[in-house]
Structure 1
Amino acid sequence: MNAFQTIADRVEIEALRGEFTDAAMMRDRTRLASLFTPDGALRMPNIPIELVGREEIRTGGERLQDQWDFFVQTTHPGTVLLDGDTATGRAYIQELARTLDGRQGLNYAVYHDRYQRTLEGWKFTERVYEVRYLDTSPLAGTAPHTTQDPTTTPADTTTPPADTTATPTTPAPTTPAPTTLAPATLAPAASFTAPAPAEQLNRAAAALRTGGFTVEILDDAASARIRIKALVPEGASVLTGASETLRLSGIDEDINAGGHYDAIRPRILTIDRATGADEIRKLAAVPDFVINSVAAVTETGSLVLASGSGSQLPANAGGAAHAVWIIGAQKVVPDLSTALRRVQEHALPLENARAQAAYGMPSAVNRLLILNAEPRPGRGTVLLLREAIGY
């Protein structure tokens, strides 16, 4: 390859990265999707979010736009390594965002890229997004609300998928959490990562059983995955939470992609959110089974779930005919005050990073569900693991 061609390729790839940011800023998701090869992928591995193909990339982005008060993305030049008709590179990103309901934040991230020369010029074959820094402090600035330029694409009227804070499933606002959740004098969040010893698991299990829950103590997530197949009959309608525990264990994939159940989440994702909000609400509220994790379980027999929008909480609270919660050993805490602190100090920061990378906005604890007992015998099953999994 001659020197002129090398320079031309580098300039075109840098222009491609700039076009991506411009399309995002102008809310032109069709143009943004066109910057990828037909089978190109936009991935956020830690979320996990994976959009493959131009249509998924377009529609996935459009779910976010009506939520924005403002969104600013700046791309800084990174590296490009050419290899004939393919190339790899990195681009460095700074983002500021605030939504109409007050969610806000600043982050710095890296796009790890692969490129392909095509008849239409250089295109992305893959962009992998990695957050390196996240700050959810209130933003001091504001955005002027002027009439939109008619040459740009109007904001979509859809909303982000499901509820995502701690164990739940939609991105949640970053309004300050109640001060009662985080007494400054208590132990740091690092104490919330170690698996509970056997005696602590046994105390939690005994208290839960006293409260009417069915409890099984299992060795690990692999055992829970097998047990779920026995607990949930084929063909049942099942709602899964957006839980790291379910993702890492493979249970989420078993339910939503295995073909053995009437999986609610994939159905919800096909419904137009502007016209089908009531249908989505009803589907999520009363499935045969809800399978989820929790943010904390206490030795006194309480389960604590945290949410931004609350869309999954009705099924967990009692709307679902049956509920199964898979809980890693690190989530066992002595009492309710410690459970609330675990939500704020440990689960929320991790969920913030996940939601920021997935949806371009942070999360918050806007709704808490505390289950102190199960009044319907046989409805609620807790699979309490001896290993740590999820957060």
Structure 2
Amino acid sequence: MTMFQAIADRVEIQALQAEFTDAAMMRDRARLAALFTPDGVLRMPNIPIELTGPEEIRIGGEKLQEQWEFFVQNTHPGAITVAGDTATGRAHMHEIARLRNGMQGLNYAIYHDRYRRTVDGWRFAERVYELRYLDASPLGGSAPGAQGGAQGGAKGGEQGGEQGGEQGAKRVATYTEPASAERLERAADALAARGFGVEILADLDAVRARVRELVAEDESVYTTASETLRLSGIDEDLNSDRYPGAVKPQVLIMDREAEADEIRHLLATPDVVIGSAVALTETGSLLVASGSGSQLPAYTGGAARAIWIVGAQKVVPDLSAAMRRLEEHALPLETARTESAYGVPSTVSQLVVFHAPTRFTEGIVLLLREAVGH
């Protein structure tokens, strides 16, 4: 083999690797499958998947990509060794993805390849995917148009807009529907894995009784502004004479200017802070929004225990869905309430995502099987 032939083979094999990634990104599974020999094999043990032959690879790939909300793959060429009409090599992968079931993250992996020269050029005889690093933390970004944007061209934009409107309406409709038992269990398992204490309770009576067990009568307790606490009766319970250390009754009679420092300490360092969240992701994160920020110091380390009571309708797949729930549902409802009560709209001045409890504050989530609150 001449030096020029060896160089040409390496260039063509690297082009084959790039073509694979391009076809995956363009969701062109037929083109991707055609890059394999008739007996070519695609193995992904971590999923697990083993597909043999272009047709099986095409069908399996189409089923796989149906699960994507978005997927981004970057390929970096590795070593290639050519031996006549066969070759071996590696491709180093960096990928980010979010699935429709809420699973998401980024990973680094290696494709271990065998190539074969054919009449149509070099093709994959085998690709074996080896996962080297996985970070399943929730992704902060989103895919533009993933909920129905332009797909290219006037017609695509028109159709995407219509689809986006329909999907938006469907999302709003689901904001009040309790999540299924399966989704509640998935969210609870994810919370527990992140270090939260978590319980699934049947209804408001059960959660009200459980809160009485969790909060001792001699503890200082701060109930944050929450429709969930109001509707469940918990706000009334914890701010009664039964709890002399209740923070809210004390703060309400204090002078906001002259006693500002004392108010700040009372709100920031109770034994227990209790409230709700805008959304809970199936991957185990809590989204808390605030207009004044008064509850955040206690939640983020000031209190000994933080308790969040979350209705089943607040369970969403991921953080993107959590933000949509805030903007499309919770904030408009809260604005209607504050305008009626105080004559001013609500606002989100601070936004905190809890992926885990803070070091000095025990985090407890009481997850209801029914809907309650915004």
Amino acid at match of 2:179: A
TM-score (norm 1): 0.52
CA contact 2:301–2:359 (8 Å) conserved in 1: no
1:378 deviation in Å? 7.8
Residue 332 of structure 1 pairs with residue 315 of structure 2: yes
Q: Indicate the residue corresponding to 2:202 in structure 1.
A: 219
Cα shift readout 1:242-288 (whole Å, capped 9, x = no counterpart)? 11111111100000024234110110001111211221111101100
CA contact 2:222–2:246 (8 Å) conserved in 1: yes
Q: Indicate the residue corresponding to 1:43 in structure 2.
A: none
Secondary structure, counterpart of 1:294 in structure 2:
coil
* Counterparts of 1:342 and 1:210, CA distance in 2: 24
Which of 168, 174, 177 aligns to 1:187? It is 168
**Which fold has the larger relative contact order, with Cα–Cα distance below 8 Å and residues 6 or more apart in sequence?**
1
1:375 deviation in Å? 4.6
Residue 357 of structure 1 pairs with residue 340 of structure 2: yes
* Counterparts of 1:316 and 1:245, CA distance in 2: 17
CA contact 2:312–2:367 (8 Å) conserved in 1: yes
* Counterparts of 1:208 and 1:280, CA distance in 2: 32
Structure 2 unaligned blocks of 5 or more: 1-143, 149-163
* Counterparts of 1:300 and 1:275, CA distance in 2: 44
Q: Indicate the residue corresponding to 1:232 in structure 2.
A: 215
Secondary structure, counterpart of 2:335 in structure 1:
helix
* Counterparts of 1:328 and 1:355, CA distance in 2: 21
Q: Give the alignment of 1:111-260 within 5 angstroms.
A: 185=164, 187-188=168-169, 189-260=172-243
- Structure with greater helix share of residues: 2
* Counterparts of 2:317 and 2:298, CA distance in 1: 26
* Counterparts of 2:345 and 2:266, CA distance in 1: 26
Q: Indicate the residue corresponding to 1:281 in structure 2.
A: 264
Secondary structure, counterpart of 2:237 in structure 1:
helix
* Counterparts of 1:310 and 1:363, CA distance in 2: 13
Which of 307, 317, 320 aligns to 2:290? It is 307
CA gap 1:261/1:296 in 2 versus in 1, 3 angstroms: farther
Give the length in aligned residue pairs. 211
Secondary structure, counterpart of 1:380 in structure 2:
strand
Q: Pick the structure with greater CA Rg.
A: 2
Structure 1 unaligned blocks of 5 or more: 1-179
* Counterparts of 1:342 and 1:277, CA distance in 2: 34
CA contact 1:212–1:375 (8 Å) conserved in 2: no
* Counterparts of 2:358 and 2:296, CA distance in 1: 17
Cα shift readout 1:316-350 (whole Å, capped 9, x = no counterpart)? 12211101111100000000110011111110001
1:355 deviation in Å? 0.7
